[in-house]
Structure 1
Amino acid sequence: MGTKEGNRMSNLDDLMHRVARLEEAELARNLLHAYAETLDDPTPEAVAALFTEDGVLSVPAGDFAGTAAIAGFYRDRLGPGASEKRHFIMNVRTRSQGPGLVEVASYFVFTAREPDSGLGWGQYRDLIEVADGRARFHHKTITPHLATDLKRGWPAHGA
């Protein structure tokens, strides 16, 4: 194999690697859409199914490891009295962490309807595994910044 042919093969390998990383990033980005869509009409099991079996959900209340614990977390928060919400994800940044692993950082906003109209926002930081054309959360960190009702609104510091 001549140098020219070897360079062509190396360039083709590089291109295939880059395309694979782009496909993984797109599958990871689509998982965020599926997460928001699932939260808009949630069941605990449907949310937990978006995680790997050994996935971890990190929230200010602690870490929930495994799909059973993650489903339990959502069951506690989606039960009677939970408000109907709509979730919006924006400013998504993806970074490959190696084959089959994508880090995604994003911001979220939610609106709530019942019992009190409300809104809130924060950040997600996700480590997403991609295998066999499917993306799932391996570790999801939710960092809320604000959750309020429309009566209180978003007061300035010290107000």
Structure 2
Amino acid sequence: MITGTLFQNGYICRDVDAAVAEFRKRGDVRVVGPFEADQSPDTPTGPKRQVTKLAFVWQGNMQFELIQPILDETGLYGAAGDEPMRHHHVAMRVDDWDTFRSALARQDLPVVIERAIEGDALKFLYIDARPAFGHYLEYVWMTDERWRQIGGLPA
């Protein structure tokens, strides 16, 4: 299922600080973070804890999400391996979460994690699209205020 507006490439990193430095060395970018996130998204087998060190690197309205797993009970992120960064997913922003979820229910790629942030400012999920595309697909709905908070430029 491909829908929404592509805005992000996600990478698993061994060291988020080193990854941010690499982006800064190679371009004029805006950076939000690094910061630590501790969350328990829903999975098909119930809530699982994830602790990650994150940074958002922006080039225009394209975001590079840098993820350093610290604890991942979901098994979603895995290790970066021998490389400093490994591509993991692309993310699309959708306008209407309920319409998106209805369409998603009619496709054959499984949801592996899902979470709604308190206050209903952001919702996201990952589907396992590795059999079709070689990576995960993340879908995100967020308010315009949350978009600005994570570093997105006004439309």
The normalised TM-score by structure 2 is 0.31
Structure that is richer in helix per residue:
1
The normalised TM-score by structure 1 is 0.30
Q: Which structure has the larger Rg over C-alpha atoms? A: 1
Q: Relative CO higher for 1 or 2, CA cutoff 8 Å, sep ≥ 6? A: 2
